[in-house]
Amino acid sequence: MFEKFSDYMYYLLFGPLKKAAKAANQFYIFLKVIGKLADQTKQDIFRVREESMIISASERMLEIHGQDRDMRRLKGESVENYRLRLMMKHRIAEMAGSNSGILLSLQTLGYEQSYIEPYRLYDPDRWAEFIIYLAGKNPSGINDISIIDSEVMKVKPASGKPSYAVEEQNRLVIRSNFQFGQSNYKLCNTFVCGDWPTQANLGRLEKSDSAIRSHFAFGSVQYPLTDTILASEKLYQPRGEQT
């Protein structure tokens, strides 16, 4: 209802105090001056509230939150990834020492589709090692493997040694489309044509139907064997005919 504090305070005045025009009303002039200070104070309070929370803090204030948590912004890290990493600080710490903690830490770096495999699947002697396959829906700005390894080392199991790999994926898509249509035209004298409308707008309506059908069939192609066909200049060569 009231956008400014001065308008609200002037509204609360008694009627006799508001009889004078606003330009000459000393109460209105006084409230207008202190109203600007009150409005600015309200904006400052709202800004402090937003900056105090990581989810709504500005980019500059995120650096302050990072200093309090001993988490500097990494090279190539976007603002939103940095915000997410700060918000997930406590949860990552709780899951440290497990594969879930490693994957959660990689998620904050932009590799949310990563997965882990034990190295013993490929070399039984390397039982204490594991392979991290880095993958993400979108390219991550953090592509320095030393930075990624530094973050993984903070949450990995104490007895494990990480290795890193990138999986290349190829997708083959085969699409086929087959359409078949059939039209049955009316023969002569098989139906009666509609009468032309009279002045009373009378006529006869012909019925029309439409249908959609689908059919699937499986078949094999047999290629001709040697000497079962003959070469000829003709467009069609029956089998057995000699040229």
Q: Residue 6, SS3? A: helix
Q: Which two tokens stand for residue 69?
A: 């948590």
Phi, psi at 233, each rounded to 5°? -80, -15
- Distance separating alpha carbons of residues 197 and 209, to the nearest angstrom: 23
Q: Which residues pair with 118 in a beta bridge?
A: 130
pLDDT digits (tens, 9 = 90+) for 123-177: 888 888 999 999 888 888 888 899 999 999 999 988 888 988 877 666 666 776 6
Query: pTM for this one?
Result: 0.54
pLDDT at 132: 92
pLDDT digits (tens, 9 = 90+) for 9-56: 777 787 777 777 777 777 778 888 888 888 888 888 999 999 999 999
- What is the crossing angle of helices 79-87 and 99-108, to 10°? 150
Angle at 66 between CA 62 and CA 70, to 5 degrees: 175
